[in-house]
Structure 1
Amino acid sequence: MIDRYTIGEIGEIFSDESRMTAWLEVELLTVEALATLGKIPSEDAILVRRLAPKIDRAFVDEVGAREAITNHDLAAFVDVVQSHIGVSAASWVHYGLTSSDVVDTALSVILVKAGKAISGQVRGAILALYNKAVEYQDTVMAGRTHGMHAEPTTFGNKLALFCLALNRDYERLERAISGISVGKLSGAVGTYSNIDPEVEKIVCGALGLTPTPATQVIARDRHAEYVYALTSMAATIETIATEIRHLARTELGEAQEYFQPGQKGSSAMPHKRNPILSERLVGLSRVMRGYLISSLEDIALWHERDISHSSVERVIMPDASILAYYMANKLTSLISGLVVDEVAMKRNLDNSFGLVFSQSLLLAIVDSGRTRDDAYRIVQGAAARAIKERRHLRLVLEDEASVQLDESVLDAAFDAHRIIANASLTLKEASKIPLVRNEFQ
């Protein structure tokens, strides 16, 4: 991933040094497990651990130079590790293993670490959404369907729904992390032909992984599930960002991104305060969906394995993880700094001449004894006149001789606070999120 979107700890997790450190730990733990089981001398295992090389940039470059000869990265790695150890005990490194034993198990270690880092960012975004939902739980605004005014809602209700959606993504990610928390050290086709199954148990246990039956590689549905969890989260972030982009439009002006001192919205037009972060998040979500397709196509491999998945994963696993971390981090900033214009929300709600109360009016007329179809046609006609005459729906209806409703009935029908009386149930549901409950209660 380009530096522009690589922030915090996530970049280091996918560095060459991190990857080879994970490889080395799998190799060293395997040697130690062999010693524990009495397969090799215990003093050899101690020596291998003591003389193991430090994984730094110089070591990575040395492996790269060796790979130019072997044309195989793991084989080059093993060669360089053994040469650094420099004693006969180095021969136990990679004993009984195939490359995927090391690479796949190490990849699981890295993805678990990355997943947990991303989870931390998602938790921050969930709390930011909940905080904002509480702040605006009573702020009435126009609810919109098909882009048109529908009925009143609250901004807090909208944010609470986003909070619940992102929490579902958080739970998906936690399940995906559990699904990828597996390792295998079972040899060339997964039959433990030259390695004791107990070695796998010991090594995986030390790494915090669960041994899993496999061919030469761990089944890629686990990796696809991980990428799906990230992509689903990105889609939720896109939903939130799209909403903010709409609310920020000049015609609405109900919410906008925080505009920091010195910021410029346009190189040509000084008045512009564009929703650039929201637009960026929408764009990055499109990238994430591409990674998901690639991860799904990685599931089907030939027989016990081929390496068609390997080149794909070298790109998509780091990039998807880095982008997910970035997006969750920036969503927190977006929501925390969101500028909300409650006056504009009320103004826009009033600009539809009371049409947002049409269903309440329809039901009031039905309650008075008219058929539903009669009531519908009466309100529909009154609504059309309200738009044409630019008069409030209540005033238009009061001119309708065929409808006689008490003032108290009309007051109730056009009472926005009555309509949103139960909107707080969504926020109450969000307050049950374990993360929220632990933080605020």
Structure 2
Amino acid sequence: MRALYDSKSRTMFDHGIRYLFTDEAKYRSWIYVEKTLSEAQAEVGFIPKKAAEEINQKAKYENLNFKEMERIYDRVGHGFVPFAKVLSKECGASGKYIHYGVTTQNIQQTSELLILKEVNKRFMIIISEILNNLSKLALNNQDTVMAGRTHGRHAIPITYGFKVAGWIQNFLTDVERIEELEPRVFQSMMGGAIGAYNSMGEYGPKVNELVAQKLNMKPMMIPMRNMSSNKIEYMNALCLLATSCDRIAQEVYATSIEEFGEVSEPYFKGTIGSSTMPQKINPKLSKGIIANSQKLYSVPTSGYFSSTRPFEADSSSNMLFDGLLEESAELITEILLRTEELTRGLHVHKDKMKENANINKGIDNSEYVMMKVAQNIGKDEAHSLIYKLAMEAEQNDDGYEKILLSNKYLNSNFTDDELEKMLRPEKYIGLSKEFAVEFSERAKKCASQLSVEYNNRLDF
């Protein structure tokens, strides 16, 4: 078990992602790549066209003899040879052209990246759903005033829509990053044992190019088996994507506790939070996002060490990367699915946010007062004055507004009504509303484009 699952995992629609990590999907992809290889080799004249036609007709998952594969595996101890032998036998006389001029990693890695490419499309579809959810959340809360916080303390007021706009920006950057790296990550490698096309010679580069074209991938410029930077780059991108989800989850986890009470996760009747405390309602979605994200962050590190193994290939590196890629994909799947449900059903308690924004009785608007004063006496002197008054308010119970109203300078330059309005949180939210509206629209537009593009690109 690579990802951390709980009861929520059983109820979330995964867009068929989990199937793509089954043995059946693996074998089907191996067959598909072997058939594609034979087609490409026939087109350039490296093998007879009739052989490619027979292979295409007979190489099917349903024809694989798994018992025979197990028998051969017990004897030879190789993870791919039993498959190649059984598939060759099923293809009759043309079976001699199965796995022709290539090595195990050529097929396995190309197949793995082919599956990962399909999984990645589904990731983008889920991201589109998250962006749709965030678009609505930002727009609906463009005016929802709350306390902005820095270093764990109140800073100045914002709106919840502004906070959500920041989350949207993260995901828009993730989308840009992933789309930009797709051509570098999802590549075919039909270079043979070393990567120099020793078996196929001058036919090799064209075969690799054709295979990539047929699989909607890109060909590796030099299909060397010890090149792993593309895999690490993709895992890093998934980690960064996870941080976008983790950031939301951490915030929801913290601000849903009773002392804050600003948001709460979607609740379904009958859900139990504790075997001993009947009242418990836990942030199940958030904690799953946080736990799986923290596990994912550590995964690429092993890849860095393994990518530097000496010489032209090393099976220890291949074995590790096979596991790392699947683990990364399984973890981000759980993270994305939970984030989609969380953002779709999140409850925003506007009254509590307003109450918390006023908990310091106007002192959070000190910068606003300072900037008004600075228009007359400059920033530095204004900062010193308001700092003194704010510290006085922190140390006694007179109240910030009363202290400001009793100050001679402020009293002579501002009316009581002007000072009172300066302390209202809703009067000092900057461009929070504008950002919320703008990024709501950006999220909506991006979500629509992603949904159409990647749903239309699903191959299997």
Long gaps (5+) in structure 1: none
- The whole-number CA distance in structure 2 between the counterparts of 1:79 and 1:384 is 81
Distance change in 2, residues 1:206/1:362 (3 Å): same
Aligned residue among 433, 442, 451 for 1:432? 442
Deviations 1:43-79 (A, max 9, x none): 22222222224258x7455434422222211222111
Secondary structure of the structure 2 residue equivalent to 1:149: strand
Secondary structure of the structure 2 residue equivalent to 1:141: strand
Amino acid in structure 2 at the alignment position of 1:313 = F
Distance change in 2, residues 1:62/1:10 (3 Å): farther
State the TM-score, normalized to the length of structure 1.
0.92
Deviations 1:404-426 (A, max 9, x none): 33125424532433322411232
Aligned residue among 119, 122, 132 for 2:124? 119
Report the equivalent of 1:388. Answer: 395
Question: Is it true that 1:72 corresponds to 2:83 in the alignment?
Answer: no
- The whole-number CA distance in structure 2 between the counterparts of 1:35 and 1:215 is 20
- The whole-number CA distance in structure 2 between the counterparts of 1:245 and 1:36 is 57
Count of residue pairs brought into register by the alignment: 437
- The whole-number CA distance in structure 2 between the counterparts of 1:265 and 1:59 is 47
Shift of 1:33: 2.6
Question: Is it true that 1:91 corresponds to 2:102 in the alignment?
Answer: no
1:49-68 to 2 correspondences below 5 Å = 49-55=56-62, 59-60=65-66, 62-68=68-74
State the TM-score, normalized to the length of structure 2.
0.88
Shift of 1:223: 0.7
Aligned residue among 30, 38, 41 for 2:45? 38
- The whole-number CA distance in structure 1 between the counterparts of 2:15 and 2:37 is 32
Amino acid in structure 2 at the alignment position of 1:309 = S
Question: Is it true that 1:146 corresponds to 2:151 in the alignment?
Answer: yes
Conserved in 2, the CA contact under 8 Å of 1:156 and 1:427?
A: yes
Report the equivalent of 1:299. Answer: 307
Conserved in 2, the CA contact under 8 Å of 1:221 and 1:299?
A: yes
Question: Is it true that 1:310 corresponds to 2:321 in the alignment?
Answer: no
Report the equivalent of 1:344. Answer: 352
Question: Is it true that 1:25 corresponds to 2:25 in the alignment?
Answer: no
Bigger relative CO (Cα 8 Å, ≥ 6 apart) = 2
Question: Is it true that 1:158 corresponds to 2:163 in the alignment?
Answer: yes
Conserved in 1, the CA contact under 8 Å of 2:55 and 2:95?
A: yes
Deviations 1:167-213 (A, max 9, x none): 21122222233322211212122111211122222222111122112
Distance change in 2, residues 1:211/1:335 (3 Å): same
Could you tell me the percent identity over the aligned residues? 24
Question: Is it true that 1:418 corresponds to 2:411 in the alignment?
Answer: no
Question: Is it true that 1:268 corresponds to 2:282 in the alignment?
Answer: no
Conserved in 1, the CA contact under 8 Å of 2:362 and 2:424?
A: no
Secondary structure of the structure 2 residue equivalent to 1:274: coil
Question: Is it true that 1:335 corresponds to 2:343 in the alignment?
Answer: yes
Long gaps (5+) in structure 2: 452-460
Secondary structure of the structure 2 residue equivalent to 1:96: coil
Conserved in 2, the CA contact under 8 Å of 1:16 and 1:60?
A: no
- The whole-number CA distance in structure 1 between the counterparts of 2:154 and 2:67 is 61
